[in-house]
Amino acid sequence: MTNNENYQRIWKTVLQIPSGKVASYGQVADLAGLPGRARLVGRALGYAPPALAVPWYRVLRSDRSIAFAAGSDHATTQRQLLLSEGVMVKNNRVAKQYCWQPDLAELLFSLEF
């Protein structure tokens, strides 16, 4: 992995997602300062060290569906984790109301101004 710095930023951004809310890969990429690099977010989550406790399950596709194949072990685990936070999952997809809308103040704080 040659871009460890990008991974760090992605992990930090995902850690900003509050419990009970979800964000898309593209959204995380944008907030992390990596526009158009949603795929990198998915890769970063796969490489995420367990020690950081990154809430990877709060990251969904842009259509708010779970990124893994429906019925797969990963998808089932993710659905379970989301349900435990009160996020209802219907047909491998969640409702709009759970989308995280980051606060400007929150963003400025994470950017360490």
* Cβ at position 99, least distance to DNA in Å: 12
Phi-psi region of 20 (alpha: psi -120 to 50; beta: other; left: phi over 0): left
Which lies closer to DNA via its Cβ, residue 67 or residue 110?
A: 67
* Cβ at position 45, least distance to DNA in Å: 4
Exposed / middle / buried, residue 57 (Cβ in 10 Å: 0-12, 13-18, 19+): buried
* Cβ at position 113, least distance to DNA in Å: 26
- Distance, CA of 105 to CA of 112 (rounded, Å): 11
**CA 53 to chain centroid:** 12
Site of interaction with DNA (CB under 7 A): 1-3, 24-26, 29, 36-43, 45-46, 48, 56-57, 59, 61-63, 67-68, 78, 93
Which lies closer to DNA via its Cβ, residue 72 or residue 109?
A: 72
Which lies closer to DNA via its Cβ, residue 36 or residue 105?
A: 36
Which lies closer to DNA via its Cβ, residue 91 or residue 112?
A: 91
- Regarding beta strands 59-60 and 89-90, do their DSSP bridges make them parallel or antiparallel, or are they unpaired? unpaired
